[in-house]
Amino acid sequence: MAASEHIVGRGIGNKLILFTVVLVAVIWMLPIAWAVILSFKSNAELMISTGSAFHPPYTIKNYADIFQTSGVFRWLWNSTVVSVGVTAGILILSSLAGYGFARAEFKGRDVIFVLVLLGLAVPEQAVIIARHQMFSDLKMHNTYPAIILPGLSSAFGVFLMTQYFKAIPKDIDEAAMLDNASRFKIFWKVLLPLTIPAQATLGIFSFLGAWNDYLWPLISATKPEMFTITVGIASTQTNFAQSEGLGFLMAQAVFAGLPVFIVYLFFQKYIVRAVAGAAIS
């Protein structure tokens, strides 16, 4: 009797948790759903009242207008090049650095690691003027390297990969060494494949960060042909977009977010696994 009451109680508890989770998810989704609905309404209607979003007519003109903006595909391409470049660079550098900090014995390792971690505490805004001047002196603005290179110094990436390599038992390295494997071979063939979940997590966050980045591309990629999608889309807004161009503004937001959404769809398995793994550990 007591056992069945316990099971019933647990069932109610689970349902309550499920209900709460669904409720929170719905609340979280509301702004996104609102943006999507508004994106299918005409600017003129929304200027008078956003309440018109709840009834027809709906239109795809806002999306059609985006595709008729001459630079938009160029901006998408630029964002793709930059995001892929930043992601690949971070994965390579962070994996190498993480392996070094986790496995290599060298003088000053701990001090250097702390210095790297201090990078987490320095906001981009604090160094952006000096960085801009440096790239100006090198005459590199409005080039892909200028947009990509600053993003490669990822303190978070180094920290994550270091911790992940540390969690892999050293016995595996030692077994490989007994088989006469070189240090690089151990890194490349043995340990790196074991870090794929961490690589996926880091890769996804790096890609999203690079895709959504606004401040640095705004002041480095200042020619329209070098705009990333975030800067390009923002440039097309009219001065009073929030009131007179709301439908177009929302369509732009949805459009700019779609590639990221697609990336999430493909990699959600890794994201969920990584987040769950982080929670358990």
Partner 1 sequence: MRKLTTALLAGLVVTAGAGAAFAADKTEISVSRFFGACEADYGTVTDVTKANGECGIITALTNKFNAESTTTVVKPEIVEWPGYDQLTARIRSGEPPVISVMHEAVISDYSSRGLLEPLDDDFAKAGIDINDMTDAARQGVSKDGKIYAMPFDTHTWLWHINLNLFKQAGLLDEAGKPILPKSTDELFKQAEQFKEKTGKPYFISTLANETAFYTRTFDTLLYQQNADFFADPNKVNFSSPEAKTAAQLLADIYSKDLTTKNQDYAASVSSFAAGEGGVFICGTWLIDSYFQESKKEGVALSNGYAATAFPQIYPGSPRVWADGHSWVLLKQDLTDAQRASAIEFMKFLWDNNYEWARTGHLPIRKSIIDSAEFKGLPYRADIASLAINGTALPSAVKRQFSIQDIEGEEVGSAMRGDKTIDAALTDAETRINELLANAK
Q: Which of 42, 59, 80, 142 binds partner 1 (CB under 8 A)?
A: 142
Binding segment (CB under 8 A) for partner 1, from list 112-120, 148-156, 237-245, 265-273: 237-245
Name which position in 48, 114, 178, 280 contacts partner 1 (CB under 8 A): 48
Least separation in angstroms between residue 74's CB and partner 1 is 13
Cα of first residue to Cα of last residue in the chain, in angstroms, is 37
Nearest of 163, 140, 148, 141 to residue 89 by alpha carbon: 148
Q: Residue 10 and residue 228: Cα distance in Å, rounded?
A: 51
User: By CB under 8 A, which span of 21-29, 129-137, 205-213, 259-267 interacts with partner 1?
Assistant: 129-137
8 or 215: whose CB is closer to partner 1?
A: 215
Nearer to partner 1, 146 or 158 (CB): 146
Q: Which of 42, 50, 153, 163 binds partner 1 (CB under 8 A)?
A: 50
H/E segment holding residue 268: helix 246-280
Q: Which long-range contacts (CB under 8 A, 24 or more apart) does 44-51 make?
A: 45/247, 46/246, 46/247, 47/243, 47/244, 47/246, 50/246
Binding part of the chain for partner 1, among 13-21, 23-31, 157-165, 212-220 by CB under 8 A, reads 212-220
Minimum CB distance to partner 1 smaller for 61 or for 103: 61
Q: How far is the CB of 147 from partner 1 (least distance, A)?
A: 13
**Prior bond of 259 cis (ω within 30°):** no
Other C-beta atoms lying within 10 Å of the C-beta of residue 156? 17
Q: Which tokens hold the place of 137?
A: 């002196």
**Contact footprint for partner 1 (CB under 8 A):** 47-50, 64-65, 68-70, 132-133, 135-136, 139, 141-142, 218-220, 222-224, 231, 234-246
